[in-house]
Amino acid sequence: DAGVIQSPRHEVTEMGQEVTLRCKPISGHNSLFWYRQTMMRGLELLIYFNNNVPIDDSGMPEDRFSAKMPNASFSTLKIQPSEPRDSAVYFCASSPLRDTEAFFGQGTRLTVV
């Protein structure tokens, strides 16, 4: 199994631009998570999907952030417009069931200048 696949691995963009991060979960996994990690705030849960349906988006910082999961094998996290304070590592993770561990992708390192 290829594991959770995220793209791009690195993204540098200018303030005000739209950024789209992509995630392919492990096949057969029902839950998908998007996290953001910074030194100051640690690993923050942004949104959690179960069977492609958003269950909890209380961690999404503001309206500039949106996430979709159109099918079981693909999810996107979009930031529009991006700001320098959005600079962080964004992780996607998936898990097979609602009470099991999650497996992480390698992350996308986002820098907004």
Q: Footprint of other proteins on this chain (CB under 8 A)?
A: 31, 33, 35, 42-43, 45, 48, 50, 55-56, 91, 93, 95, 98-107
Please state the closest distance from residue 49 (CB atom) to other proteins, in A.
Answer: 10
Q: Which amino acid is at 86?
A: D
Q: How far is the CB of 94 from other proteins (least distance, A)?
A: 11
Report how far apart, in Å, the C-alpha atoms of 92 and of each of 14, 46, 54, 79, 113 are: 23, 10, 14, 15, 23
Measured from the CB atom, the residue of 12 and 15 that comes closer to other proteins is: 12
Distance in Å, CB of 63 to other proteins, minimum: 21
Q: Which residues have C-beta within 8 Å of that of residue 89, sequence separation ≥ 6?
A: 36, 37, 38, 107, 108, 109, 110
Q: Which is nearer to other proteins, 74 or 103 (CB)?
A: 103
